Amino acid sequence: MSADRITAIYHVTDSADRIAARADAIAVEQSVEMPVSAISDRNVLDNIVGKVEDISDIGGGKFEVRIGLAVATMGPEPGQLMNMLFGNSSIHADIELHDAVFPDSVLSAFGGPNHGLAGMRARVGAKDRALTCSALKPQGLDGKGLAKIAGQLAKGGLDYIKDDHGIADQHYSPFAERVPAIADAVRAARAADGGRTAYLPSLSGNLDQMRIQIDIARKAGLDGVLIAPMIAGVATFHALVRENPDMAFMAHPALAGASRIAPPLHLGKIFRLFGADATVFPNHGGRFGYSPVTCRTLADAALAPWDGLRDTVPVPAGGMTPDRVPEMLQFYGRDVMLLIGGGLLAAGSRMADEAAKFQDVVMHG
């Protein structure tokens, strides 16, 4: 692979006699999107048109097609990277974007996370252990009601509390009111033991609105936020990461499922490339259909050495319960943040106790 191409790896359902022509068609679709025979410009033909690098039969009627896409067509701009990787091909039901290999120039251009696993541990005074997280719910409560629940969860000593991704800037709990109230409640709950629970409020709206929300969060003493990059737009996400090097960004997968990009690439590599310090994904055996292999591959993509880019903390979630903690630690090891939302909230008046038990098992096994 020449340094100026990204290798996009597609899994294509097609027949053996058609796959070569199909691969050529994808290479054109994801680059110049017109008949190559009608292009006379030598530079475009040599340096812009996508190049089929390899085709291999992976069984089950599927082929792995590797296509070199010119970095020059992508900016570097996050939206344009997504567009050139999968913009039009996302509309083909028989094409999955399986993986991608990025040259160093692309990694350094986007820059990756500002904090990574080490930073996420440092903010809550953790050394080489797994981290804990819970989710603040339900939406519909006012800021005071949410602050009360957050206080209970923090009293249990959790490392992180994130807003439910459905909590936005609704009239019944506006961001500007609830975030300082929740931040105060969380701090107050940890005053006794001197530890820190970091609260990550959920951003919503457009770039201007999210900037205002980050300012509010910062003024409330917070140093991290939650964002759903596929809803916000990856360019919005990346701009906020680069503008706010003091803030940690936890990425949420909402709306990521509709586009048929393999989760390890999408929630692991791509969100890491654009700057996610932590990435939430549905653990196997929960409410969602990810397999153990998908989860393992995703966590590896988030954590593996990657040419100097910081790592991204894998955050398996989605219907997890306290009794699964030992098994999850076994599966993911200590480089992980375990997120239990509803499973703690369901404890009602025993919520702080359940949170403390969760924290204890993660810290001391």
Measure the CA–CA gap between 276 and 108, rounded to whole angstroms: 15
By beta-carbon proximity to its own copies, the closer residue of 123 and 162 is: 162
Strands laid side by side in the 5-13 sheet = 51-59, 62-70, 5-13, 95-101
* Region 204-233 residues binding its own copies, contact defined as CB under 8 A: 204-209, 228, 230-233
* Region 107-166 residues binding its own copies, contact defined as CB under 8 A: 135, 137-141, 145, 164-166
**Per rule CB under 8 A, is residue 235 in the interface with its own copies?**
yes
Stretch that binds its own copies, among 53-61, 124-132, 152-160, 342-350 (CB under 8 A): 342-350
By beta-carbon proximity to its own copies, the closer residue of 160 and 306 is: 160
* Region 31-50 residues binding its own copies, contact defined as CB under 8 A: 31-35, 37-41, 43-44, 47-49
**Per rule CB under 8 A, is residue 330 in the interface with its own copies?**
no
**Per rule CB under 8 A, is residue 286 in the interface with its own copies?**
no
Q: 180-198 b/e with 16+ CB inside 10 Å = b?
A: bbbbbbbbebbeeeebbbb
Q: What is the DSSP string of 128-190?
A: SS-EEEEEE--BTB-HHHHHHHHHHHHHTT-SEEEE-TT--S-TTS-HHHHHHHHHHHHHHHH
Q: Which of 83, 101, 124, 334 binds its own copies (CB under 8 A)?
A: 83
Q: Which of 4, 13, 14, 25 binds its own copies (CB under 8 A)?
A: 25
What are 43's two structure tokens? 């530079």
By beta-carbon proximity to its own copies, the closer residue of 37 and 330 is: 37
Stretch that binds its own copies, among 10-18, 80-88, 102-110, 177-185 (CB under 8 A): 80-88
- In the bound complex, what is the minimum distance in angstroms from residue 192's beta carbon to its own copies? 26
By beta-carbon proximity to its own copies, the closer residue of 192 and 258 is: 258
Q: Which of 132, 152, 197, 236 binds its own copies (CB under 8 A)?
A: 236
What are 51's two structure tokens? 């190049």
Measured on CA atoms in the order 216, 127, 238, 173, is the torsion positive or negative? Answer: negative
Type of residue numbered 302: A
